[in-house]
């Protein structure tokens, strides 16, 4: 019998465990993978972007309606400073890159090592390679029984810190949702987020490897939901890159609801349509004997320029001087408002986070204790909150994990 069993040894679980053992709790972390923090090692391309100074609620999302005030209970204006200080006390000083915080070593291993050592130095215990299969609460004994594929454990309280469904190889296989349901919790539809999107456009596979800066808008059933600006990565299957990742949750939800999902790409966001038109007219005057392909490839990567011309049926060899106003108008529209029909998102194993989960309304966010089952605490990605790229999902994990550990 221990005071607390934490199911999941990732970011939220380790943060929770540290706060619990600091307060004298006997604590056991059960992790189904062979070592703790496997997903942490992969974050930030191995550098572990663990927080962001730009803390705004717009970077945190939920499937549940009217969730923003609930998220604000956890993500307050001082949260980044609190996280930075938490890691500083663990011996992990931070370095800032345009608001993004990384360990000074720029190694995710530094973060994982510090977390694990802080936990075990205060007598926290760990069992890896054990998958939790069943939970039971005894009202009479006021204790939980936790059954794994290797044994049975008992505790006064439990913490679910299992993560979501994104990347099962790193431990997030969705098993935590089943455990939450065993205790009476609901779970919203869970969908891939922070992932690439698949489209079905003729000739698109030829854009494999192309990168271009632009603005991307997410339109769902002809309604604009959000937009991002930055580097767009073109792939054989569709579009990717951070700007697409940040919008992918809207595509996943829209597709799951059977709605039309269309992304509109402005490949020349620094110019208005009128400005671009005037530049093309200048090209007709200054270099009339150059082909329209040569002119457009002066603005965009070669492969992308060729694709756009093919899309509107314009021959690469046609001279810019021979392009009449209707042709120029169509070219401008295509460069500034390239419509891409999204037919699917990449699957969970190619996503970074899960949209959906246990509704926030079922949790007391002051303590992270369940409103459904006393003595059970829920943290991290298991909850219905997903963040944009930039360390926001880890901020949610640290914050909810620490808050649970402080209030056990």
Give per-residue pLDDT as tens, 91-131: 999 999 999 999 999 999 999 999 999 999 999 999 999 99
In the chain, domain spans: 2-191+353-407, 197-345
Report in angstroms the alpha-carbon separations of 375 from 334, 358, 367: 57, 16, 11
d(CA 205, CA 404): 47
pLDDT at 385: 98
d(CA 26, CA 21): 6
Q: What is the 3-state secondary structure (H, E, C) of 297-333?
A: CCCCCHHHHHHHHHHCCCCCCCEHHHCCHHHHHHHHH
pLDDT lower than 50: segments of the chain: none
Return phi, psi of residue 248, to 5°: -65, -30
d(CA 190, CA 318): 49
pLDDT at 270: 97
pLDDT at 45: 85
d(CA 128, CA 5): 13
CA atoms within 13 A on the CB side of 243: 22
pLDDT at 42: 87
Q: What percentage of residues in the chain have a pLDDT greater than 70?
A: 100
pTM assigned to the model? 0.94
* DSSP codes joined into one string, 116-185: HHHHHTTT-EEEES--EEEEEEETTTTEEEEEESS-EEEEEEEEE----SS-GGGT-SSHHHHHHHHTT-
Query: Helices 302-311 and 325-336 sit at what angle, rounded to 10 degrees?
Result: 120
* DSSP codes joined into one string, 262-294: EEEEES-TTS-HHHHHHHHHHHHHH-TTSBHHH
pLDDT at 200: 87
Query: Helices 273-286 and 325-336 sit at what angle, rounded to 10 degrees?
Result: 130
Closest by CA position to 341, among listed 264, 262, 266: 262
d(CA 408, CA 2): 13
Contacts of residue 186, defined as CB under 8 A and 6 or more positions apart, other chains included, come to 358, 359, 362
Helix or strand or coil: residue 59?
helix
Residues across the chain: 408
Closest by CA position to 374, among listed 73, 156, 104: 156
Q: What's domain 2-191+353-407's architecture? A: 3-Layer(bba) Sandwich (3.50)
Whether 201 contacts 358, CB under 8 Å: no
Q: With the C-alpha atoms ordered 388, 391, 397, 398, is the resulting torsion angle positive or negative?
A: negative
d(CA 73, CA 15): 18
d(CA 243, CA 227): 8
């Amino acid at each position: 019998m221990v005071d607390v069993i934490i199911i999941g040894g990732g970011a939220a679980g380790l943060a929770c465990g540290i706060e619990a053992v600091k307060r004298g709790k006997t604590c056991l972390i059960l992790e189904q993978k062979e070592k703790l923090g496997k997903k942490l090692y992969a974050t930030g391309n191995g550098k572990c972007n663990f927080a962001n100074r730009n803390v705004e609620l717009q970077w945190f999302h939920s499937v549940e309606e009217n969730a923003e005030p609930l998220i604000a209970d956890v993500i307050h204006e001082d949260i980044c400073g609190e996280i930075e200080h938490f890691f500083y006390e663990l011996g992990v000083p931070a370095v800032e890159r345009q608001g993004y915080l990384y360990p000074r070593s720029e190694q995710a291993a530094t973060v994982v090592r510090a977390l694990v050592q802080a936990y075990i130095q205060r007598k926290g215990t760990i069992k890896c390679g054990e998958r939790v299969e069943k939970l039971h609460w005894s009202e009479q004994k006021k204790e939980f029984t936790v059954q794994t594929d290797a044994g049975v454990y008992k505790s006064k309280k439990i913490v679910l810190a299992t993560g979501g469904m994104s990347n099962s190889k790193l431990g997030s296989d969705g098993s935590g949702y089943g455990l939450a349901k065993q205790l009476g919790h609901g779970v919203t539809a869970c969908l891939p987020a922070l992932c690439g999107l698949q489209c079905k456009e003729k000739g698109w596979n030829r854009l494999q490897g192309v990168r271009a800066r632009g603005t991307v808008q997410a339109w769902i059933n002809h309604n604009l939901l959000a937009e991002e600006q930055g580097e767009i990565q073109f792939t054989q299957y569709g579009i990717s890159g951070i700007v697409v990742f940040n919008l992918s949750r809207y595509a996943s939800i829209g597709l799951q609801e059977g709605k039309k999902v269309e992304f509109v790409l402005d490949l020349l966001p620094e110019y208005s349509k009128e400005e671009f038109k005037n530049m093309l007219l200048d090209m007709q005057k200054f270099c009339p004997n150059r082909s329209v392909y040569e002119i457009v490839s002066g603005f965009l990567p070669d492969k992308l320029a060729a694709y756009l011309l093919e899309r509107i049926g314009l021959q690469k060899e046609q001279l810019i001087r021979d392009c009449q106003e209707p042709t120029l108008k169509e070219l401008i529209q295509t460069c500034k408002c390239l419509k891409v029909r999204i037919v699917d998102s990449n699957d969970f194993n190619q996503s970074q986070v899960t949209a959906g989960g246990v509704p926030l309304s079922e949790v007391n966010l002051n303590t992270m204790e369940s409103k459904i089952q006393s003595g059970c605490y829920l943290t991290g990605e298991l909850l219905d909150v997903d963040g944009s790229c930039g360390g926001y999902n880890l901020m949610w994990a640290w914050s909810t994990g620490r808050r649970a550990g402080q209030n056990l």
